[in-house]
Amino acid sequence: MKRIILITGGAGFIGSHVVRRFVTRYPDYLVVNADKLTYAGNLENITDIESNQNYRFEKTDIVNKQAVLDLFSKYSFDGVIHLAAESHVDRSITGPDEFVFTNIIGTVNLLNAARSSWKEHPEGKVFYHISTDEVYGSLGKEGLFTEETAYDPRSPYSASKASSDHLVRAYHHTFGLPVVISNCSNNYGPNQFPEKLIPLAINNIKNNKPIPVYGKGENIRDWLYVEDHSAAIDLIFHKGKVGDTYNIGGNNEWKNIDLIRILCSIMDKKLNRQNGTSEKLITYVKDRPGHDMRYAIDSSKLQNELGWSPIPEFSEGLEKTVDWYLSNTTWLERILSGEYEKYYDMMYSGR
Ligand code: NAD
Ligand code: TYD
C-alpha cells in the first residue's frame, strides 16, 4: 500500500462520501474508517465499498484516549482526515457536553496520537481537520467569510468546532505538526441525517407533515453539494499547503423559506401533486435560540490556488437529493424509528 489513511467519522454524512471517494479513486491507499457509530453514524451509507481490499472499519470512540493510541499503533498512518464530530446545532443547544467531549477532547486525542506517531518522521504526513464556516459567527446582509475573518462562534456546536480548530493550529505552531484545515458551508445531498433542514423537509413533505421553519425563515445559508465538498477535501488533502486554511463554499446563498419553496415545488413534481400542494405544509415555529442570521463563504483561495469549483446548479443538486431520498426509503425508515422519533417529539412538540 502506498499510503495508509485514517478517516474519522466515515460512517456519517460527509465522511461516507469521502471514504467512498478515497477507496475507489486510490486503490493503492489503505483507507481506515474509525467511527463510534453514534445515532448519526450508519454503515449502510457505505455498503457498496465495505468489501474492498483497501478498506477497513474500526469501531472507535475518539474520546477514548487509549483506543485512539491503539489505533495509531495498529496502523502506521501517513495521513488523517478528521471528520468525526457531533454536528447538529439544535442538539448542541439541548445537550452541549457531548460536543465538548467529541469535538474538543476527541480532536486533542487524535492530535496527540499523530504527534507521537509522526515525531521521528513528520515528512509527507498530514493531519487534515474538517471544520465549518459556523466558527466565523453570523454575517449581516453584506460581506463574506474569508480565511482571515476573526472567529466569533455563537452556538455550543460552533464554539466546540472553533476550539478544535484553535488546537489544531496550536499543535502546528507549537509542535510542528503538519496540519491543514478547511471550513465549509452547509452541505446537502444523499445520506444526510434527517434532523438537518433539507432531508427533514423532504421527509415531512413526503409524509404530509408540517415543515417546521424557524422564526420568519429569513436566515441565509450557503449550500454546497456534498460531493463538491468531498472533491475539495481530496484536493486539499493532496495539494493543500501545510499550516494553511481553506474556505469551501457553494457561492449559493438561499433564505431558508425560499429554499423550502423550491423543495416543495420539486416534491410536487416528483410526487405528482398539484403545484402548490406541499407549500401548504410550511409552518413557522419558534426560532432557534441564538440563531445565526447569515453564513456565506468566499472560496476564492481554494478556487485560485488549487483549481476547485462546485459543479451542480442548486436546482439540479436538490433534484438529485430528492430522487435519492425517494428511492432509498428503507435507509430513511430505519433511521426514523426508535431514538430519532423521541428526539423529533422532544424538539418540535409545542414549538
Ligand atoms: P454527521 O453527524 O453526519 O456524522 C458524524 C460522524 O462522526 C458519525 O458517523 C458519528 O458516528 C461519528 N462520531 C461522532 N462522535 C464520535 C466519536 N466520539 N468517535 C468517533 N466517531 C464519532 O456529520 P457530518 O455532517 O457528516 O459532518 C462531518 C464533519 O464535517 C464534522 O466535523 C462537521 O463539523 C463538518 N462540517 C459539516 C457540515 C455540514 O453541513 N454537515 C458543514 C461543514 C463542516
Ligand atoms: P441545519 O440544517 O440545522 O444547519 P445549520 O444550523 O448548521 O445551518 O439548519 C439550516 C437552517 O435551517 C438554519 O437556519 C436553521 C433552519 N432550520 C429550520 O428552519 N427548521 C428546521 O427544522 C431545521 C432543522 C433547521
Task: State the distance from the centre of ligand 1 to the C-alpha of 97, rounded, in angstroms.
Answer: 16
Active-site choice (35, 86, 134, 222): 134
Q: How far is CA 347 from CA 45, 188, 199, 285, in A?
A: 25, 21, 16, 11
DSSP 136: G
CA distance 79 to 236: 12
Q: Using DSSP, state whether 3 is helix, strand or coil.
A: strand
Q: Tell me: the pLDDT tens digits for 292-336?
A: 999 999 999 999 999 999 998 999 999 999 999 999 999 998 888
| Amino acid 135: pLDDT | 98
Low-confidence stretches of the chain (pLDDT < 50) are none
| Amino acid 220: pLDDT | 98
DSSP 27: T
Name the closest ligand to CA 221. 2
The domains of the chain are located at 3-192+223-251+291-312+340-348
- 256 CA: nearest ligand 2 atom: 12
> Could you tell me which CATH number the domain at 3-192+223-251+291-312+340-348 has?
3.40.50.720
| Amino acid 1: pLDDT | 73
Q: If you take atom 22 of ligand 2, which residue's CA is the nearest one?
A: 212
Q: Is 134 annotated in the active site? A: yes
Helix 156-175 × helix 107-118 angle, to 10°: 20
φ, ψ for residue 80 (rounded to 5)?
-130, 135
Task: State the distance from the centre of ligand 2 to the C-alpha of 117, rounded, in angstroms.
Answer: 39
246 grid coordinates: 481553506
Contact between 189 and 317 (Cβ < 8 Å): yes
| Amino acid 139: pLDDT | 97
CA diameter of the chain: 66
Q: Is 227 annotated in the active site? A: no
CA distance 322 to 317: 9
| Amino acid 23: pLDDT | 98
| Amino acid 334: pLDDT | 86
Q: Using DSSP, state whether 337 is helix, strand or coil.
A: coil
Q: Is 48 annotated in the active site? A: no
- 292 CA: nearest ligand 2 atom: 14
Of 98, 21, 35, 24, the residue nearest 68 (C-alpha): 35
Of 154, 160, 168, 58, the residue nearest 112 (C-alpha): 168
